[in-house]
Chains A and B, each alone.
Chain A
Amino acid sequence: GEDVEQSLFLSVREGDSSVINCTYTDSSSTYLYWYKQEPGAGLQLLTYIFSNMDMKQDQRLTVLLNKKDKHLSLRIADTQTGDSAIYFCAELEGKLIFGQGTELSVKP
C-alpha cells in the first residue's frame, strides 16, 4: 500500500528535544524527506536523507533511518516555540508520498 504513517500529535516543553517518528512503505525508496508546515504558510522542505545513509545531522536537526524496519525519525534539539508546526515525512518511490503529518506543540 501507499500509507506512510506518523503519529498525529507531539507536545514538548521549550528547550527539550523532540522526536517525530515515521514508518514508510517501500524499501526501495531512494530518498526520505521531512517537511515543515507552519500555520497559514506553505510547505517547506526541511531536510532529507539518502537511503544508503543511517544518519544525517543538520544544525539542530538529526535524521535517523532504519531501513530494516522502514523507520524514519526527526530529532529537533533544543526545541523552540518557533518550531511549533506540522511536520510531514515523505518517501520518494517514483513519486513523493506523504504521511499525514505530526502536529508539534512547544510549550514555554
Chain B
Amino acid sequence: GAGVSQSPSNKVTEKGKDVELRCDPISGHTALYWYRQSLGQGLEFLIYFQGNSAPDKSGLPSDRFSAERTGGSVSTLTIQRTQQEDSAVYLCASIQNYNEQFFGPGTRLTVL
C-alpha cells in the first residue's frame, strides 16, 4: 500500500482482556515505532524497531506490553490484562531515514 495502515481502527475491550494491535508499515522502511497518545497529551514513546537490531523497549510502561516485528515488516503490539489507563490512541510510524516519516491513522483503544 501507499501508506501506513493500522488495524483495528477502534477497539473496545473489557478490563483484564488481552488486545493485539497491528501495524503495516511502508514496504522497505527499516524503522518502525509505536507511540501512544492519551487524550490531550503528547506522543509517549513505547518501542522502536530498527532493521535487524534488538528493539529499544525502553518506553514500554509495564511487562503487560510487548511488541514484535515479523520479517522486518508487520508489527503487532500486544497488551495483556488491559487496564483502564491503557485507553489511548496507539500510533505506528514507518521511517526510512531522517526525513521520510509516515504515521498511521492510529488505533483508538478503549478499556471499559
Contact = CB atoms under 8 A, between A and B. Distances in A.
Contacts of A55: none
Contacts, number: 44
Interface residues of A, number: 20
Contacts of A31: 98-99
A88 B99 contact: no
B112 interface: no
Given A95-B56, A96-B93, A98-B35, A45 B101 contact: yes
Q: Which of B43, B95, B102, B103 is packed against the most chain A CB atoms within 10 Å?
A: B43
Describe B's contact surface by its main secondary structure.
strand
Given A98-B43, A101-B42, A92 B106 contact: no
Interface string A72-92: 000000000000000010101
Interface of A: 2, 30-31, 33, 42-45, 48, 88, 90, 92, 94-101
